[in-house]
Structure 1
C-alpha cells in the first residue's frame, strides 16, 4: 500500500479538532479496515472507483462522489485499481460540537449541520457531482492556506472554509441524485445479511456455526465470501463493531470497564482491554479521560 497522506492538517493547537487531507492518493489496492470516528468525516473522490460500506449496506462510489460518515458510525471502503490506476480523495474530519457554535448566525445552515450530526439519514452518498464543481476548487484554494502551520489566522481561515463547504453540501444534498440503493449483487446481499446478523448479535458470545445456520450457508463459504468481499475477516469486523460500541459507552455512560466489557459481548476484561488498545491506541481508562477524534 502506497498512500500519500502528507497533506493532512491537525489543528489541536487551536484547541479544536479538525483534519483536512487534500488529494491523498493510493496507487495500489487499498483497504481501510472497518473503523469509526468520534467526529464527522467527509470523503470527496477525485479518481478511482469502488464501494463504501455504511451501516451494513454496500454503495458504489466513483469520481465526484461525496461520502459522509456520522460520528461513531462503523464503515469501510474498497477501491478497484487496475495497473497504473490511482485512488485520489480529499478527506475532511471534524468534531461537530466545536464547529456548531460558529453556525449560530446562520440558522438554516445550523439546522442542516445538526441534521447531519444527529439525525438518522436516508442517504450519505452523493454521486455524479458536476465536473469542476465548487468542492474541487474550494479544496485546491484552501489547501495552501491551511498548510501555513501555526498561523494566527488559521482558525478563522478554517472556519470560513468549513462554512463555505457546508453551504455547498447543503445546496446539493437534496438536489443531486443520492446513491440511495445499495448494490444488489447476490454476493453483496449475503455480506449485508452477515453484517446485519452481527449487528443483532454482537453483544452475545459469537459462534460461526450460529451464523451458518441462520443463513443456510457453510461456515467455510461464509468466511471465504466475507473476506474476499470486505478485505477483512468476520472476527476482525466483529471486534471493530464491539470496540465501536465500547467507545460510545466510555464517552457517554458511567458504566465500569467490566460492565462495558460484558455489554459488548466479551467476558474477559483483560482481553477486552488488550483489543481496545489495539483498536484505539489507548486503554479504556485513558480513552474515557482523554479527548480524541479519529479511531
Structure 2
C-alpha cells in the first residue's frame, strides 16, 4: 500500500484492470496521484471525490477520470446497507495513444480527457450508464488473460467507451492542440514528501528545497488541494505504517519512529483515527483475515 505518488505497476501492459469490487467498510481518504490516466465507474455507494479542489458526490452512474499526475481523493462512506461498488481502470495513456490514430475524433477526445486543463472529468452518465456498464463488463470477461492485453481488444474497449462519452461531452470548437496542464506546486511537494516523509522538521526542509517560505508553502498546498500539509503528511505516514503492520513483524514503537513520529502515543492516536483500530489490533485483524 503506497501513498502520495502511487506508481501503477503496468509491467509492460497498456492497461491495468481492477475487476468490479464491492466493499462495506469506509475507504481511507487520501490525496494521491498516479503516472497514468485512471477511470472510476461507480455502481453504488455514497461519499465524495475531490479533483482540482472541487468536490463531487459518489453515486451510481458517476464516471470519474483522473489525469496523469493529477491530485485526487476518493472517500466512500461504505456500509452494510450501502456498499461502495465500483470498477477502477488504469490506462498507460502513452502506450495507448497510437491505438487510436486511425480514429481522429476518438483520439482527440481521449487526449482531452487525459491532458486538457479545462476538461470536465466527473460525469453523470444518466441514460448512457447502461452502455458504459456493458462496455466495462464485456472487457472484464477477458481483461486478465492474453486476449485482454491485445491491441485489438483494448482498442475496441476504448472506442466503445469514448463513443458513449462523446454523447455527453460537448465537442470542442478549437482546432489547436490540447493545452496540457502544468505541474502544480502541490505535486512537487507531494513528490518531495514521498521520498522524505520519515524526516524530522519537514516544513523547514521543504522550504529550503523549494526556496519558498514555510507559510507560503502551507498556503499553496491548501489552495491547490483543499487539505492542510500536516494532514497530508500524517496520512502518508499512516498509510506506510499500515503496510508495515501488514507485511512485517516490526514492533509498533519501532514503526512509529521509522515513519517519522517522535511520540508513540500520538502515532497510535492518529492511526486509530484513520483505521478505527489501534495499530496492534489492526495487525491482528489483518493476519487473522489472511489466514481465514
TM over 0.5: yes
> Aligned with 2:108: secondary structure?
helix
Contact in 2 for aligned 1:43/1:92 (Cα 8 Å): yes
1:235 counterpart residue number = 233
**1:162 aligned partner:** 158
Post-superposition CA distance 1:189-220 (Å, at most 9, x none) = xxxxxx9xx99x98435459976xx99xxxxx
Alignment of 1:244-255 (within 5 A): none
For residue 33 of structure 1, give the secondary structure of its aligned residue in structure 2: coil
**Hey, what's the Cα distance between the residues in 2 that align with 1:209 and 1:117?**
27
Structure 1 residues 24-39: aligned runs within 5 Å: 24-39=21-36
List 4+ stretches of structure 1 deviating above 4 A. Answer: 207-211, 236-239
Distance 1:145 1:119, change over 3 A: same
1:172 maps onto 2:168 in alignment = yes
In structure 2, the CA distance between the partners of 1:237 and 1:106, relative to structure 1 (3 Å rule), is same
2:115 to 115, 118, 122: 118
Picking from 44, 50, 54, the partner of 1:53 is 50
d(CA) in 2 for partners of 1:152, 1:134? 19
Instruction: List runs of 5+ in structure 2 lacking aligned partners.
Output: 1-7, 172-185, 191-205, 238-259, 261-292
Shift of 1:142: 1.7
How far apart, CA to CA, are the structure 2 residues paired with 1:137 and 1:41?
Answer: 19
Alignment of 1:12-23 (within 5 A): 12=11, 15-23=12-20
Mapped to 2, the partners of 1:42 and 1:120 lie a distance apart of 17
CA distance in 2, matches of 1:141, 1:209: 46
Alignment partners' CA distance in 2, 1:209 and 1:18:
35
> Distance in 1 between the 2:77 and 2:87 partners?
18
Q: Which residue of 2 aligns with 1:291?
A: none
Secondary structure at 2:233 match in 1: helix
Output the CA distance in 2 between the equivalents of 1:209 and 1:38. Answer: 23
Question: Does the 8 A contact of 1:10 with 1:20 survive in 2?
Answer: no
Distance 1:237 1:58, change over 3 A: farther
Cα distance per residue 1:98-130 (max 9 Å; x no partner): 111111111111111122222212421012522
Kept in 2: contact 1:10–1:18 (CA 8 A): no
Distance 1:152 1:29, change over 3 A: closer
Tell me the distance in 1 between the aligned counterparts of 2:232 and 2:149: 46
* Residues 235-278 of structure 1 deviation map (CA, whole Å, 9 limit, x = unaligned): 34799xxxxxxxxxxxxxxxxxxxxxxxxxxxxxxx9xxxxxxx
2:163 alignment partner, SS class: helix
Instruction: Check conservation: 1:146, 1:158, Cα contact below 8 A.
Output: no
Distance between the aligned counterparts of 1:96 and 1:22, measured in 2? 19
Shift of 1:171: 2.2
Q: Following the alignment from structure 1 to structure 2, what is the Cα–Cα distance between the partners of residues 208 and 237?
A: 21
Give the TM-score normalised by the residue count of structure 2. 0.56
Q: State the secondary structure of the residue aligned to 2:31.
A: strand
Match of 1:66 in 2: 63
Query: Which TM-score applies when normalising by structure 1?
Result: 0.55
| Pairwise CA RMSD | 3.8
Per-residue deviation, residues 19-59 of structure 1 (Å, max 9, x unmatched)? 12231122101124211111111101001011111122222
**Aligned mates of 2:134, 2:115 — CA distance in 1:** 29
